């Protein structure tokens, strides 16, 4: 296994996953090729990777699964015994079946998982949960994870068989049918269309950006996070309920999980 090129693939509506995928990919090489699955415009990524490439692929956890939209955009990926490092990021609640789901998808596409991690970040809906993660301790663990994978890849180059990766999770995967938090526009909205262009699900009409198609919306909070006017918001009462529930059940520090 002689790595010639490193690619980074991510679905990352509010940027936490992107940051971690970028950090890990750039720990292996400079000149990383990036592929952004978040973009509706870009759509499904049709790409084949060779055995001499390393891929780092990350997605967030939604309801203990990977976002269905991210899975759709990965549908045309092809590996040829391509080594891949898989990451799921989660907001200090749990990641349940998400890492196993991602591993299963990529192995079906002839990738070889050489490292897997579930990494805690700030929760993209309730920012107080997982606030300031990843912290120093997390970054140290991530550096150690990278070092172990480097050793593993060196040994593979010398002909040693790769150790199998075990991750937690159960099949059939748990059900996730979305959450009822659908952002709307407030009076500050100037109909600039930024949110419509950025929405991964194309749930906002570019001609009428104040309207959200609730069926398409995946509650990813990208529009709320990046609106230049800070004009997108979620129903305050619903948000209060979700925040109080999450703050209660997720007040304890959750740890990252790594498998090499």
Contact residues for ligand FMN, defined by CB under 6 A: 12-18, 60-64, 89-94, 121, 123-125, 179, 219-221
Q: Of the two residues 12 and 82, which places its CB atom closer to ligand FMN in the complex? A: 12
Distance CA 119, CA 145 (A): 11
Q: Minimum CB separation from ligand FMN for residue 144, in Å?
A: 21
**Are 53 and 85 within 8 A, CB to CB?**
no
Distance CA 147, CA 154 (A): 11
Q: Minimum CB separation from ligand FMN for residue 50, in Å?
A: 27
Task: Label residue 45 exposed, middle or buried (CB < 10 Å: 0-12, 13-18, 19+).
Answer: middle
Q: Of the two residues 114 and 129, which places its CB atom closer to ligand FMN in the complex? A: 129
Q: Of the two residues 2 and 171, which places its CB atom closer to ligand FMN in the complex? A: 171
Helix (H) or strand (E) holding 24: helix 16-26
The DSSP code sequence of 153-200 is HHHHHTTPPPPPP-----SSPPP----S---EE-TT-----HHHHH-T
Q: Minimum CB separation from ligand FMN for residue 113, in Å?
A: 20
Q: Minimum CB separation from ligand FMN for residue 190, in Å?
A: 25
Distance CA 62, CA 90 (A): 8
Query: Could you tell me the end-to-end alpha-carbon distance of the chain, in angstroms, rounded to an integer?
Result: 16
Q: Minimum CB separation from ligand FMN for residue 250, in Å?
A: 7
Q: Of the two residues 47 and 176, which places its CB atom closer to ligand FMN in the complex? A: 176
For the chain, how many residues are written? 260
Task: Label residue 225 exposed, middle or buried (CB < 10 Å: 0-12, 13-18, 19+).
Answer: middle
Q: Minimum CB separation from ligand FMN for residue 224, in Å?
A: 10
**Are 43 and 74 within 8 A, CB to CB?**
no
Q: Minimum CB separation from ligand FMN for residue 246, in Å?
A: 9
Distance CA 236, CA 137 (A): 34
């Amino acid at each position: 296994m002689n790595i010639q090129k490193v690619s980074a693939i991510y679905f990352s509506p509010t940027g936490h996953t992107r940051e971690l995928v970028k950090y890990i990919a750039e720990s292996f090489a400079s000149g990383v090729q990036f592929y952004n699955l978040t973009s509706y415009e870009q759509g499904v990524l049709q790409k084949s990777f060779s055995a001499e490439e390393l891929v780092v692929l990350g997605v967030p956890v939604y309801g203990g699964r990977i976002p269905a939209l991210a899975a759709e955009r990965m549908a045309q990926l092809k590996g040829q015994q391509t080594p891949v490092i898989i990451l799921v990021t989660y907001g200090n609640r749990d990641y349940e079946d998400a890492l196993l789901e991602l591993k299963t998808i990529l192995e079906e596409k002839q990738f070889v998982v050489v490292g897997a991690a579930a990494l805690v970040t700030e929760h993209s809906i309730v920012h107080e949960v997982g606030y300031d993660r990843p912290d120093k301790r997390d970054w140290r663990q991530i550096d150690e994870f990278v070092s172990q994978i480097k050793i593993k890849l060196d040994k593979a180059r010398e002909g040693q068989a790769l150790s199998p990766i075990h991750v937690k999770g159960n099949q059939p995967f748990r059900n996730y049918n979305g959450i009822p938090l659908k952002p709307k526009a407030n009076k500050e909205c100037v109909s600039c269309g930024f949110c419509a262009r950025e929405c991964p699900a194309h749930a906002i009409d570019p001609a009428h950006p104040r309207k959200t198609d609730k069926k398409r919306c995946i509650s990813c909070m990208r529009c709320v996070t990046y609106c230049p006017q800070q004009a997108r918001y979620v129903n305050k009462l619903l948000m209060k309920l979700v925040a109080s529930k999450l703050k209660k059940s997720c007040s304890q520090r959750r740890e990252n999980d790594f498998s090499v």
